Structure 1
Amino acid sequence: MQLCMYIIDAFTREQFGGNSAAVVVLDSPLPDALMQQIASENNLSETAFIIANPSGDYAIRWFSPLMEIDFCGHATLASAFVLFEYFQCHQTIRFSTQQVGDLTVWRHHDGCIEMRFPNLAPTAVEAPAALLAGLSRPPKQVLANAQAYFAIYDDEQDVISLQSNSEQLKTLAPRDVVVSAKGSDCDFVSRYFWPANGGDEDPVTGSIHAGLTPYWAEQLGKTKFHAKQKSIRGGELFCSLDAEHVLVSGYAVLYAQSTLHIATAAS
């Protein structure tokens, strides 16, 4: 069996920046175990599998090297980029998901891809001991949603210089950890740690901005944001808040296109 796969750098305008995602375009469903094997072999933050539905939308599922993920923003952006560039999708794309409902995506004239996400605003919680032990600097505030704990800091440099203890943060599963502060050359910055679900640090995490955007909207008194993720690769996101949704936008570039040769026994 041969499968077409693309590797896309998402939330960046240049190769080797942003976050890499593999996108596998399917003609028919694959067994869950095989999708996990492919994602583990790729060893990227996520591998997205997309397949056209009779209704005209696309089913999408995301796998980290360790497990299936409920919600992934950068691999959704990468998947949309592939469909726009190589599969003659010229209008709005709707992705159907198992955990977060339908995701609507469209591309602007300058190539920026905008995604409509659910509003996943976090609420204040008491900081777990493992969170405090897992971060080299104590946050001024801790919040949480279903995806992650949000550790908020006073200064961008606190986020940039922060060190994490993956063994401590791993015990917070199923939640990951995002750290964030007001930015100096943007509205807010963040970093994302997910040792229980994928890896030590994620280069750029689109999905967590469904929670960061409503948080910073309340703090800054505005609804449109320029955000940066301060990982080694770095990433740039444009976010806005409407009455019911969070809109997260970014650019993407092709890194590689390949063919997977899957042995019949593996499938």
Structure 2
Amino acid sequence: MELPIYIVDAFTDQQFKGNSAAVVPLDAWLDDETMQKIAIENNLSETAFIKQESLNQYTIRWFSPLTEIDFCGHATLASSYVLFNLYESQGQIEFITEKVGSLYVNCRDDGRIEMSFPNQAPELVTEVPVPLLQGLSIQPVKVLRNRQAYFAIYDSQLDVESVTYHLEQLAQLAPYDVVVTAPSDRYDFVSRYFWPANGGDEDPVTGSIHAGLVPYWAEQLGKQEMLAYQASKRGGALYCRMVSDRVLLSGFAVIYLRGTIYI
């Protein structure tokens, strides 16, 4: 069997920046074990498998090298880039997911791809888990959580950039991951994302967690439109908007590879 595969750098307009995702369009679903093996072989933070259901409607599933993921933003952006630029899709794309409902994607006139996500605002945690406090070198000023991760809030961008982490401690928070975030002078807010429970070490740019970060910072900053930056080694910019109960994220993407899988 031969399958097409594309690797796209998401949330960046430069190769070797942002977050890389593999995209594998399918005519029929593979079994879960095979999809997981492909994700392990790719060894990227996510591999997205997409299958067309009708015009501009696709089911999407995401696999990290460790497990299937409920929700992934950058691989959704990468999949959209492939459909808009290589498969000549036009108009709004709907991605059907099992865990978070439908995700709607449009290609803007400026070339950014804009994704509409459900609002996943975090709530304050009254009892902070000990592994979280022991797993971060700088203590957060407060901690929140949504269905995906713990949110460690800091006062400054320097804290976010300087904090070190202990994966063994943070892994005990499974199934939750950890995002550290703070306001920024150059951007509206910055973040970093650690996910030993579901993906590995530090994720370069994490679109899904911004479904929680954007509503939090919109309330804190009193703004509906914001520019965010994920301060990983590769780094990536995310253009954010709150529209009613939806979180709109947009960013650029660059193709790195197109090829064929033989299985």
TM-score tier by shorter-chain length is over 0.9
SS at match of 1:88: coil
CA distance in 2, matches of 1:56, 1:44: 26
SS at match of 2:201: strand
CA contact (8 A) 2:46 2:63 kept: yes
Match of 2:200 in 1: 199
Letter of the structure 1 residue corresponding to residue 86 of structure 2: Y
Letter of the structure 2 residue corresponding to residue 167 of structure 1: E
Match of 2:248 in 1: 247
Shift of 1:54: 3.5
Match of 2:72 in 1: 72
Match of 1:161 in 2: 162
Shift of 1:90: 1.4
1:174-185 alignment to 2 at 5 Å?
174-185=175-186
1:224-239 alignment to 2 at 5 Å?
224-239=225-240
Letter of the structure 1 residue corresponding to residue 243 of structure 2: D
Question: With structure 1 as the length reference, what TM-score do the two structures score?
Answer: 0.97
Match of 1:265 in 2: none
Match of 1:260 in 2: 261
CA distance in 2, matches of 1:141, 1:181: 11
Shift of 1:41: 0.5
- Does 2:30 correspond to 1:30? yes
Shift of 1:188: 0.1
What are the superposed Cα offsets for residues 198-251 of structure 1, whole Å, 9 maximum, x if unpaired? 011000000000000000011001111000000000000001112111001100
Shift of 1:56: 4.5
Q: How many residues align?
A: 262
Q: Could you tell me the percent identity over the aligned residues?
A: 61
What are the superposed Cα offsets for residues 27-68 of structure 1, whole Å, 9 maximum, x if unpaired? 111101100000011000000000100464100000000000
- Does 2:62 correspond to 1:62? yes
- Does 2:142 correspond to 1:148? no
CA distance in 2, matches of 1:166, 1:156: 21
1:7-22 alignment to 2 at 5 Å?
7-22=7-22
CA distance in 2, matches of 1:140, 1:56: 44
Match of 1:116 in 2: 116
Comparing 54-63 with 229-238, greater Cα deviation is found at 54-63
CA distance in 2, matches of 1:193, 1:54: 36
Letter of the structure 1 residue corresponding to residue 150 of structure 2: Y
Letter of the structure 2 residue corresponding to residue 129 of structure 1: V
Letter of the structure 2 residue corresponding to residue 143 of structure 1: L
SS at match of 1:71: coil
Letter of the structure 1 residue corresponding to residue 253 of structure 2: A
Which consecutive residues of structure 2, in runs of 5 or more, have no partner in the other structure? Answer: none
Match of 2:188 in 1: 187
- Does 2:88 correspond to 1:99? no
Shift of 1:161: 0.8
CA distance in 1, matches of 2:111, 2:239: 13
RMSD of aligned C-alpha atoms? 0.7
SS at match of 1:22: strand
Comparing 161-170 with 53-62, greater Cα deviation is found at 53-62
What are the superposed Cα offsets for residues 89-122 of structure 1, whole Å, 9 maximum, x if unpaired? 0111000001000000000111100000000000
CA distance in 2, matches of 1:134, 1:245: 32
Which consecutive residues of structure 1, in runs of 5 or more, have no partner in the other structure? Answer: 263-267
Shift of 1:22: 0.1
